[in-house]
Structures are given as C-alpha cells and as structure tokens.
Amino acid sequence: MTQVLERFLKYVQCATQSDPHTHTTPSTPEQTVFAHQLADEMREIGMSDVSVDENSYVMGFLPSNIEKEVPVLGFIAHMDTSPDFSGKDVKPRLVEYKGGDILLNEELDIAITLESSPELKNFIGDTLVVTDGTTLLGADDKAGIAEIMTAMEYLIQHPEIKHGKIAVCITPDEEIGEGADHFDLEKFGAKYAYTMDGGEKGCLEYENFNAAYAKITFTGKNYHPGYAKNRMVNSIALSQYFLANMPKREVPEATEGYEGFFHVYTIKGGVESTEIEMIIRDFDFDSFSRRKKLIENLVTDMVKKFGDVVKLELRDQYANMLEKIEPVRFVVDIARQAMMDCDVKPAIQPIRGGTDGVRLSYMGMPTPNLFSGAMNMHGKYEYVSVDTLESAVKVIVRISELYVNL
C-alpha cells in the first residue's frame, strides 16, 4: 500500500491545470504530457490495450480471470487540477497529525486551522499530505488516479483475486466541465463504472445538483455626468437593481445539504454595459425549474419597468444522476458492501456539484462517485490522508471481487 502514496507524490508534481479559455481538448498541453506518462505506467504494470487518444483520454484494461461472463466494470478519475489556484511546482510534504492547526508556510503565515477546517479532528493519528501554502495539492483528482493505478497493479500481482474485465479511463478537463465531452463509451465498454473523485473516507455519492448557467447583460447610455439628467442610463445601477431583487439567503455561503442556491460569480462592466454571470443549482427538479423561472421573471419585470435594456442567456448544464442510478441501485449496494468489508463506514451524501459521472450516467453508463480522500479542494489548504488513500485502494479491489457475483 505504500505504492499509492509514492504514486500520489509523483503525480502531484506534474502541473496539469485545465484552462476554460483555450477551447481545445485537452485545454492545456501539460495534460497531454501527463496522459502519456500514465499510459507508459499502465503498460509497465501489465495492463492491456493501453491507449491515449487525440484528446488525451487514457484507457487501459485488465482482462477477466474468470470463465463466467459478467459486465465490464469501469473506474474513472481525472488528470486536470482546478484553474482556480496554481497547480505548478507543487511541494507536497507529510505531516503526522496530532491535532490542532497545521502550519503550511511560516514565512507567509499560512495554516490550515481547526476553525476553518473542523474535519481535521477526524484525522488525528493519520499521516496527512499537505502543500507549502503556495499551490493547491492536486489530490482532486490525482488521489483518484493513484488509487486506481495501485488497485490495478495489486489485482495483476494477485491473480487469486477473481474479477471480470475492468476498464480504466483517466480523463482531461473535468474541472472545467468538459471531462465527458469526448469520452469514447464504446471503446471503454463498461456497463457500469465509478468515478474516484469524492472527498472524505466513506463518501458514496449518486445524486447531484441539477445545474444551469445564466448570463444577464444590462445596456446603458453614457453621457457627461454633469449633463446627464434624464439622459444617462447607468447599467451598473440596473445590475444592482437586479441583484437587490434576488433571494438574499439562497446563496452558497448560506446553504448546505439538499438546499439549492443562486451563485453570482462574475460581474464586470461600466456605465454602457454590465454583465453578470451566475450558476443555478438545486437537487429537486421542480424547485430547479422554479429557480430558473424566477430569473426569467425578474428579467421580464425589468424590461417592463426600464425598457429593452436587459437580456438573458439561460442554459442547462447537467441533471441529477439519481434518475439514472435508481433503476440499477445494486451498483450503489456493491460499493456500500465493499466499504463495509474494508472497515470503511459508508457516508451516503449528495454531491453539491457535478462530476464526469453525472454526464456519463446520462450517456448510458450509470456512474456513482466514490471517495478519493481529497479535502479542502481547489486551494492552498488542500490535503489528503494516507490512510484514506490506502482504504480507497482496498475498496476498489473489493468492488472488483464483488462484481463476479452479478
């Protein structure tokens, strides 16, 4: 099991941030370099039919070692790290955690505090991998890659463990919502799969937000401010009016669990034109529809009040995978049983976001999400427990065994 840590420490030192602005696949050349490194490693450990396609999706397979025919099982992780924070020159280090805050960088006075990360109390006695406070760690999702690769090597080295055919895919650009864009389901061949892209140990997720994107553009008229009376239309003021009429408590910083929200994440412009971008999220489809309708109605009301100065672009992004998982709940039951067999307490919870598995489920391959161990993702406070890395490897191996009984 030390191999999973060695792999992880090696992987995180490869810079693979995705970039939403390049409009290429992969969105950054570093992902292609890493893809070929992973493919070489797959071949070295004995996986078959290894390939890297033109979009840098890495695939490899373990042939079945049983006579019985069972559905092909898939495991998926993503190679890119979030564009939200630097993933270059990552300097991971190990901390034997005994409690309290974790000082990441004394010179810059950067620390993971118990106040901001109360989950730390669950890791007392564990070895944690942390950053130096100047980059993210990359456990999202290089932890998942390390776990899958280590589990595949373990199965190859232990042929006494019986399993059907296993397919592995490492995808690019998941962090910018494009991880499933060029996923070759036919080549992958799996009937069911799991993404290793969750958080704390035991995490088992198979329902997620319904998601939409909205861009609202406000058009103004600019005049010399000294002579602007009854002439100027300030688009900034129009955007303020819009925001003032939005629900105040239905925002990410005030919601949790199954609560939905509106999240305004960009506002830019001047007197002539101002643009707001937001995302809309809700688990319940009817409530999700009402949220979208609220935005549409607010824009319509502003047009009636101020004239044709507001335009809305509204589009759906992804849907709740629960609809696709419910008819095949045994994929969840197998994962739950595998965790219990490995002394991991299952923690079934909704995903307050999305993963590749959401779109893959709607493409015809039901794909729940399992824990990888990444904590405080997308920033300098990211960390992962070595014990969780090792537990995830065991769970992957056990799931592979249990599928023989399908």
Q: Is the dihedral of CA 388, 389, 390, 393 positive or negative?
A: positive
Distance CA 266, CA 283 (A): 23
Beta bridge partners of 74: 167, 193
- Token pair 């489920």 is found at 361
Is residue 160 part of the annotated active site? The answer reads no
Question: Is 80 known to be catalytic?
Answer: yes
Run of H or E including 187: helix 185-188
Q: Which of 30, 41, 80, 382 is catalytic?
A: 80
- Under a CB-based contact definition with an 8 Å cutoff, are residues 61 and 46 in contact? no
List C-alpha distances in Å: 246 to 209, 261, 278.
20, 11, 12
Please give the torsion angle defined by the CA atoms of residues 40, 42, 45 and 48, in that order, rounded to the nearest 10 degrees: -110
Which of 30, 41, 141, 174 is an active site residue?
Answer: 174
- The Cα 228–Cα 308 span in angstroms is 20
Q: Are 171 and 355 in contact (CB under 8 A)?
A: no
Going by C-beta distance under 8 Å and a sequence separation of 6 or more, which residues neighbour residue 158?
Answer: none
Angle at 374 between CA 101 and CA 190, to 5 degrees: 170
Residue with tokens 């989950």: 119
Q: How many CB atoms lie under 10 A from the CB of residue 71?
A: 14
Determine the distance from the C-alpha atom of residue 350 to the mean position of all C-alpha atoms in its chain, rounded to a whole number.
Answer: 13
Sign of CA dihedral 232, 235, 240, 246: positive
- Where in the sequence numbering do the catalytic residues fall? 80, 174
